[in-house]
Structure 1
Amino acid sequence: MDNQNPHNDPPLPSPSSSSTTTAILDAPLNAMGFEIETLSPNRVSGRIVVSPKCCQMFKVMHGGVSAMIAEALASVGAQMASGFKRVAGFHLSIDHLQSAKMGELVLAEAVPLSIGDAIQIKFVMILKNLDKNSTKLGKEKVWEVELWKAKSSSIERRDVVASSRVTLLCNMPVPKHSQPLVDTLQRFAKL
């Protein structure tokens, strides 16, 4: 296994098309300067250089930006893992462990911890108490999202910036007005 890509998922074609992919799939992430790099049901990852667009007044990345990245990556991964059904995040828990200063490269990765059909949960302790046959919470998808600082020219992990858990409701029908976005995601997805 490769340390830079421990899940051996194929990356998206090139950095220039990464920003295009992000612009098409997630306008808010794109507006902040985030670029999606890997897109599969097993792993969604990307990067952002901390800029004035994503900083709070002390010139460090705003915690809300970290939360937006976490929910966005978990949601797109959950949508792919649920067969491109509609998903909706209903709980986000995030720990901000260290600041990321203006100009620093921040990498983000979302991976599933457990995959079911109806709910994706980011908090592992909840899963230990779930009944697998339950119709309420027994069909879950568990995702974990980490953000860390990296050296400017490599994706080597350096310092964890934030760790989060996202709980998502899955397998809902996709509204007609959203079908073109699902079709686009299917074109970009590495299944």
Structure 2
Amino acid sequence: KTTAIRNRAGTPMAGSGESARTSAPSPPGPPPGFGEGAPPDNALHALGFEYTRITGTEVLGRLAVTETCCQPFKILNGGVSALMAESTASIGGYMASGYRRVAGVQLSINHLKPARLGDRIEAKANPIQVGRNVQVWEVQIWLLDPSTSEHKDLVSSARVTLLTNLSTPEEMKSYEKGIKKYAKL
């Protein structure tokens, strides 16, 4: 007898000996409670990232490097840096596009210096080009000096290209309200 392989939700996976559900899943709705002030990015929020400034010309946010953010050698995981880059650029791009849905189409990131467990870092995203259909953002991730909170060393430098001519589904309209609340930080 063959045992079906199931995903975390218990649904049989394709090709596992048992047929998966044939109905297409419904599209995800807005993040829970977002219109009431939930964080603009749930994945970053789960890591402890805090936005300190959100506009269409600059997005800033800080993160304490915790064990959750580190690879086994107690150094910031490069994927966390990439998530910070794409998320901060996307929120800025969303505002700069007049609150039209954006999608990242290219991300290039260079990791220049390590951020270690216990360090504090800051992401700073600024647009290089804001066009009607495409935006390009530069994101720098800085190690913060613990005594002054000033930028100390450049940890990563990224370039994010966003497609910005997408329509926003009706069920995501509350996201705009949430971003506007955060933008008044």
Which whole-Å CA distance do the structure 2 matches of 1:85 and 1:153 have between them? Answer: 40
* 1:53 aligned counterpart, secondary structure: helix
The residue type equivalent to 1:89 in the other structure is: G
- Of 52, 62, 72, 1:37 maps to 52
Which whole-Å CA distance do the structure 1 matches of 2:59 and 2:52 have between them? Answer: 7
Q: Which runs of 4+ in 1 moved over 2 A?
A: 186-190
Deviation, 1:182, is 1.6
Which whole-Å CA distance do the structure 2 matches of 1:171 and 1:75 have between them? Answer: 13
**Aligned equivalent of 1:4:** none
* 1:24 aligned counterpart, secondary structure: coil
Q: Which of these two proteins has the greater Rg computed from alpha carbons? A: 2
RMSD: 1.5
* TM-score where L is the length of structure 1: 0.74
Asked if 1:52 is matched to 2:67, the reply is yes
**Aligned equivalent of 2:134:** 119
Deviation, 1:52, is 0.7
**What residue ranges of structure 2 are gaps of 5+ in the alignment?**
1-35
Deviation, 1:113, is 1.3
Deviation, 1:96, is 0.4
**Aligned equivalent of 1:169:** 163
**What residue ranges of structure 1 are gaps of 5+ in the alignment?**
1-19, 121-141
Which structure dedicates a bigger proportion of its chain to helix? Answer: 1
**Aligned equivalent of 2:154:** 160
* 2:75 aligned counterpart, secondary structure: coil
CA deviation digits over 1:28-68, x for unaligned, max 9?
Answer: 00111111000101100011110011000000100000000
CA deviation digits over 1:153-187, x for unaligned, max 9?
Answer: 43311111000000110021101121111221123
Q: How many residues align?
A: 149
Of all paired residues, the percent bearing the same amino acid is 44
